[in-house]
Structure 1
Amino acid sequence: MKPSRIIRRTHRIVLPAAAAMAMAMGIGRFCFTPILPMMQEQAGLSPAEGAQLATGNYAGYLIGAVLALACPAAASTSALYRTWITVQVASLAAMPLTTAVPVWAAARLLSGISSALVFIAIAGSIAACLSNRPQHIAGWVYGGIGGGIALSGALVLSVESLENWAATWWFCAGAASVLGALAWTLHLGTSSTEPQQGRHPVRPESQATPRRTGFAALVLSYFLEGLGYIIAGTFLVALIRETSPAWLGSSVWILVGLAALPSSVLYGRFTQSYPTASIMRLALLLQAAGMVLPAVAPGAWSAITAGLIFGGTFQGITTLAVAAGSQLQVPRSAATLTIAFSAGQLLGPVAAAPFLSHGYAAALGCGAATVALAAIPTLLIRYKQSHNRMNRAPHPSTAGK
């Protein structure tokens, strides 16, 4: 096949797939973070109720991940993939229609379910369609998550002057519908998007020798990362708005997205020279430092630095964890990591709730301590250096944010 034709085919996959990631994850899951302070100020949402809404979304994500594992067709057919896009947009549009917390919780639950299923559908599709492409191409698909986060932050910042929390949800729903229209053009599977010749054979996992101890350590580390990072993912903007001008919170969220956009590509390149577990350990410690920074040193520069560190690590850690699971050669490692991470982030807001009575700084400190603790189990991860390559390692096909 001519190179020009391969490039065109790749673009027809990458662009709608990245749009789907931006819609389902960047906006669908994470727009709640910059909108939360406005809902508290204008709609009377309490910190505890905010934590409940966040927990509902994370519970939905766990349900979606389990559904995809129990019924693979839910995340592998074009018709259902488009159904989840529609559900995501509808869940966002439902938020400004009421001030009833139970309805908000139901909408966030549906948003979480559809986010997980769209994410898994896209990841599975590009794993099949781009397996014989350079690793960084698929990395840009996952970068769509960062692009969506940056877009949601920009939308909230542009609407803040109206002092209308409902308008922010309408704007986010509108942006999601545009991205959803772009994502709609993607056909799942390989027959309609990419030829199968030239694909590299995959070594059956049954032929590998599992590194059980190392994988147990990886699962524990990834569970703790899910539990700790989601506290910052939920309350970082609220903390910054408490100690800085209101506009800075949404601005920092834009930086989070921009920093996350290239992180999967960059971390993939780092692992070509250094052990994956070592890079993951450093990323976890760096993330913990970034999370606690605005809590111990309030101010504009610490807020900006925290946003860049958080954005530059959370998506990369997912990529590293799934790559480490692949290197350890444990069957269904990505599926197991998905459940562990989802369970952790489901418990995160619940664990943070007792600290919220003392302010968001205490909650962020709890999250930072948990993420730092997650670095310890990575010391037990061992594998042959020859396996330490991500050029052909699977991307986080199910271990999403």
Structure 2
Amino acid sequence: MTSPEPFPTRRNPALLILVLSLAPAIGLGIGRFAYSLVLPDMRDSLQWTYSAAGFMNTVNAAGYLAGALVAAGLGRRFGLIAVIQGGTLACILSLIICGVTADFALLSIARLVTGFGAAVSFVAGGALAATIGLAYPERSSYLLSLFYAGPGMGILLSGLIAPFVLQGFGPGSWWIVWLVLGLVSVVIGLPLLRPRVDASDDTSEIEEAPLALRPIWIYLIAYFMFGAGYIAYMTFMIAYVRDGGGSALAQSAFWCLIGVSSFASPWLWRSVLARGQSGRAMAIILGTNAVGAAMPLLGHSPVVLGISAAIFGVAFFAVVAATTAFVRFNYPRAAWSKAIAAVTIVFGIGQTLGPIAVGAITDATGSLTSALVVSAATLAIGAAMSMFQKPISSR
């Protein structure tokens, strides 16, 4: 008698990928982005500067970069499923650590581990989702988008929890938020963390293929710009909403709208991703992302902020889906893990430099508006650059 399997068979590919999407829901949607929700209270309670607050996301991004560097190798050695499960478990443990210490060094280490775990599970999950989609070519773009909608679920959950925990327990209750989010991650991660899985969905035994990056250098720079640009919005927007007089309800609504909007990505961008052989798909989606990031520059009106969150959310994770679609169209299956890792590394470098740089700019100018200007401009430049990327086969 065999042990029960945590994942459905390939006859249910959408359900399988939805279970896989729990990894980025925990590692990114909660582990990375919930920091924005507790940042104002942590900054006030721990007397941090914006540079110190930005550093906490920089060290998280550094962990993400390190994870991206080793993810492909770990996947070949241990199998993609094992890497996804191990990375997710590391994220959950680090969330709980954030709730039991106020020490800057220990918090930094915990954020580093969160980033590392998120990256290895994200790269492995993306490669596995792309492989599953290969068996359903007519639905592959839709199936791939389901995986990248996962972080939206984490954003939605954290948006429904964090602002009201902070409001209920009062100033200085940021650590309670981390503990609650850690426990929530344990619950939603159970289907993913059960020990046994059908190894036929694993690609760890595929012989590795060589990877040529020179033909996509423009694409890589554009994706670097995305990594550097999006992070300012996702790091400081809750502080911007709060500084504009936004209540806990307003902060929750704003954050949840980002998460809910991301659920529309698989349907809204399906046809765009299906034509992702060149950089045009990323240019369209990243350009939309830039518009969303620029909207708060028009003011603190709830309508403006709501439109901003909706536009940003619907495009945000679709940018990442576009890169995986691009890899799938332009590289052989045996190179997918390495190619996804390569673009993730470039993205990781961008999001490592972004928070500390934008935090320093904000400290210097004394205004969060400057952070949003930098964010929107960087995203727009990335969108413009990606237009020049041609399919590799056309070169």
TM-score (structure 1 length as normaliser): 0.83
The separation in 2 between residues aligned to 1:246 and 1:59, in whole angstroms, is 32
The one-letter amino acid paired with 1:122 is G
Distance in 1 between the 2:326 and 2:373 partners?
Answer: 28
Q: Shift in Å at residue 325 of structure 1?
A: 4.2
Of residues 117-126 and 160-169 in structure 1, the stretch that sits farther from structure 2 once superposed is 117-126
Q: CA–CA distance in 2 between the matches of 1:216 and 1:355?
A: 28
Residue number in structure 2 paired with 1:32:
35
Q: Contact between 1:24 and 1:114, CA under 8 Å: does it hold in 2?
A: yes
Letter in 1 for 2:294: V
How far 1:296 moved relative to its partner? 3.5
Q: 1:35-74 maps to which residues of 2 (within 5 A)? A: 35-73=38-76
- Confirm or deny that 1:281 pairs with 2:289: no
Judged with a 3 Å threshold, the aligned counterparts in structure 2 of structure 1 residues 245 and 85 are, in CA distance, closer, same or farther, namely same
> Which residue of structure 1 aligns with residue 5 of structure 2?
none
AA partner of residue 360 (structure 2): P
Question: 362-371 or 241-250, which moves further after superposition?
Answer: 241-250
Taking the aligned partners of 1:301 and 1:186, their CA distance within structure 2 comes to 46
Q: Which residue type is aligned with residue 31 of structure 2?
A: G
Does residue 374 of the first structure (1) align with residue 373 of the second (2)? no
Deviates more, 1:328-337 or 1:252-261: 328-337
Name the residue aligned to 1:393.
Answer: none
Return the offset for 1:276.
5.1
Cα offsets for 1:290-327 (capped at 9, x unmatched) = 21221342221111111111111111111223333444
Match of 1:351 in 2: 357
User: Could you tell me how far apart the structure 2 residues matched to 1:346 and 1:260 are?
Assistant: 23
Is this contact kept in 2: 1:17–1:186, CA < 8 A? no
Structure 2: stretches of 5+ with no match in the other structure: 1-7
Q: Is the contact between residue 156 and residue 168 of structure 1 (CA under 8 Å) also seen in structure 2?
A: yes
Q: How do 1:168-247 and structure 2 match up within 5 A?
A: 168-185=177-194, 187=196, 190-191=199-200, 212-213=214-215, 215-247=216-248
- Cα distance in 1 for partners of 2:22, 2:147 equals 8
Shift of 1:22: 1.4
Kindly report which structure 2 residues correspond to 1:2-401, keeping only aligned pairs within 5 A, or say none: 9-10=12-13, 13-73=16-76, 76=79, 78-79=81-82, 81-133=84-136, 134-135=139-140, 136-162=142-168, 163=170, 164-185=173-194, 187=196, 190-191=199-200, 212-213=214-215, 215-247=216-248, 248-272=250-274, 277-329=279-331, 332-357=338-363, 358-383=366-391
The alpha carbon displacement at 1:186 in A equals: 6.7
TM-score, normalization by structure 2: 0.84
| Aligned mates of 1:161, 1:267 — CA distance in 2 | 37
Partner AA of 2:116 in structure 1? I
AA aligned to 1:370 is: T
Percentage of matched positions with identical amino acids: 25
Tell me if the contact between 2:19 and 2:191 (Cα under 8 Å) persists in the aligned partners.
Answer: yes
State how far apart, in whole Å, the 2-side matches of 1:25 and 1:75 are.
Answer: 22
Q: Kindly provide the amino acid, as one letter, of the partner of residue 185 in structure 2.
A: A
**Structure 1 residue identity aligned to 2:93:** A
The whole-number CA distance in structure 1 between the counterparts of 2:85 and 2:393 is 41
- CA–CA distance in 2 between the matches of 1:47 and 1:273? 41
Q: Which moved more, 1:23-32 or 1:109-118?
A: 23-32
